[in-house]
Structure 1
Amino acid sequence: MTELLASEHSLDLSGLVKRGDTVMWGQANAEPLALTQALMQQRQRIGNFRVFLGITDSDTCRPEHADCVEFLSYCGSGENRALAKAGALQILPSHYSEFPSLIRQGLLQVDVLMLQLASADALGRYSLGLAHEYLLPALEKARLVIAEVNQACPWTYGERYLHAKELDLIVHTNRPPLQSRAIAPGPVERDIAQRVAERIQHGSTLQLGIGAIPEAVLHALHGHRELGVHSGTIGDGVADLMQNGVITNSRKSQDKGVTVAGVLMGSEALHRFAHCNPSIRMRSTAYTHCAQTLAAQHQFVAINSAIEVDLTGQINAESVGGNYIGALGGAVDFLRGARQSRGGLPIIALPSTAGARSRIVSQLSGPVSTPRSDAGLIVTEYGVADLRGLSLSQRARCMIEIAHPDYREQLKRDAASL
């Protein structure tokens, strides 16, 4: 194991990463910038290789880097949109819960794993800091593990810690981790959030997607009590409700007293709150998205968004106008878990329009990310359509009622052919 300072010129990855390798690193705030920036700068010396990306909060990987790098991702979120728009991003259309098995079976290859770690504690344990998720199975498979040990990275509790002997190269830095850009909710998002909040009972356990609506929902929950969280990602809104005593996790069926998450995506305030905080526990995708774990949570509420929903409940969360901007991701995993949970609520929340286009449609313009058999409650600013137990014609009537009034007559005509 070799230790370097990031400023040293000896950070030569071209002698470590090989032509044809697949490189993976933590997504969003967990990206090890000192390593990823060096990798892109040295790409031509390395030769052609592949990178697996999650959500990106930096512009480290740019379209011009496709001269030597093949970019693969499960999503078009964040800065990935520039890659997707340029035709430089390959999409892996897999459920998030499948990533651990894909990696372990070698179907999703990982040769080099790059990690951002928090400084070691008194026991010599490096914390994975801002992300566990699919990094744990990657640790088992990678030929080479390179770590940026960042003094400013929060040390978080988790199911896995690392020791120096497990790392092939350590690069020491002291820089603020990346932060996720906050999306301020507008009046429509706040109306939707209020409708969602009214459906959530005290003591429920929440899963939240990313974006303006989930954050608005959290703000609308300040009057609730004894909520819990089991989610793939958490952000500033969860930290705020924990600090204000709304999220206590005291009534969770599993992991009582602890907020469970796979990734932290937020601001410096979230990072400070999570540092050495035993009430937050980072877990791998194999746990956060496990069907049995989700179903066992009493009153498990899954809150996710979408690009559009058709009159029968089919959901497109991936692309619009030929542009890949979203993800298949973990929505289906969580919606199914909520449907199986006692008192659970599977919720998709979205504005009724996007510009001059209705988001309640007779026919999707993109793929079916979530089949209609998994649809539950669809929420817009005009109401809530609970599709559970309804026939196709009943669903169509309910969906038209929550569409924007300007599009309802056309949707009624389209529904006649269902």
Structure 2
Amino acid sequence: MGSLNATQVRALKEPGRYSDGDGLMLNVKDGGSKSWLLRIQHDGKRREFGLGSLKDVSLAGAREKAGEIRKQVRQGADPVAEKQKQRERVPTFREAAKAVHKEHKRGWKNGKHQAQWLATLETYAFPAIGDLSVEAIEGRMVRDVLADIWLEKPETARRVRQRIGAVLDYAYSKGWRTQEAPMRSVTKGLPRQPRKTGRFEAMPYSDVPAFLEKLRERDSMGRLALEALILTAARSGEIRGATWDEIDVDAALWTIPGKRMKAGKAHTVPLSPVAVEVFKRAAALRLKGSELVFYGQKPGRPLSDMTLLKVLRDMELPFTVHGFRSAFRDWAAEETSFPGEVAEAALAHAIANKVEAAYRRTDFLEKRRGLMEAWTKYCAGVPVSRVVKLVADS
């Protein structure tokens, strides 16, 4: 028990400090105002903490606050920092997600990813946990958010899981949560997703020549862009964002700046004679004032990713646009003698081996030129034996 009681506290008028014991004191000022102070010795230093006015904090309340601070000091915590933390309002999951998106989106090169990152959370996470404090979100809640789409939309569900985890880890780093995201246990609580045979549904390379022949039966910007994509083995975003200052028809080169590449490094694509003709056909359709090679319906805007996919769907084909890169890679491995690293360089894949990446000083441009010419000859229906002979001669 302290040495003060409630009656004494109300009756004290003389200015000064009146001890309740163990460092807790009532401070009476000249004007008659009264407030609580706690004096503590910590790390050899004397520190004082204000606990509030007597109008707001009773004797019992002051003793309770003093006890909490003493406990924090014994545990090695800084009471000032803890008080500051309590003053900060812990945001909701929705608010924290928007903060993560705002801070991180500048580092994402893909504009589509920037938009989708928050949109997936708005659709699948916010209805259930968006208005909850980030410190209150437990693993079971995250599991329930994912359960409805885990098997029905597996890829989307994995993205939602990753993004929820990113928000909770961000909250932990800001001091809003006492634990990191419980994503490992969340995953353990969900059923096993069925394995896919491949990451992308790719057209068999043996079907590509006939497909290209059918693709050329009609002209449209989407079909022209898809043909260029197939003949260069480029990614959809690289083709759709291509500008005329990147194309050197005379040198038969397409140089994509690093800011548009997945790995962040500039990539030079050797253009076969057939690919050069595709770009010349595109030049005949060039819009005045537009730098885009393959433009969309709105002036100054590129084709959408769905435009290329629609070409395949209109032809009632189940394949993906990205799958043509897989078709190219399978063809290079099975039908030619080009080294694997040349085919990987043609796809602008990063070198997984860090030591090899550090010492490699070539991008195999001339060998890739031979590879891309062989690929376009194959796509034109040249027999495999002639393609293999071309490879051997190059």
Q: Please indicate, yes or no, whether the TM-score normalized by the shorter chain is above 0.5.
A: no
Structure number having the greater strand percentage: 1
TM-score normalised by L of structure 1? 0.24
Larger relative contact order (Cα-Cα within 8 Å, sequence gap ≥ 6): 1
TM-score normalised by L of structure 2? 0.25
Larger Rg: 2
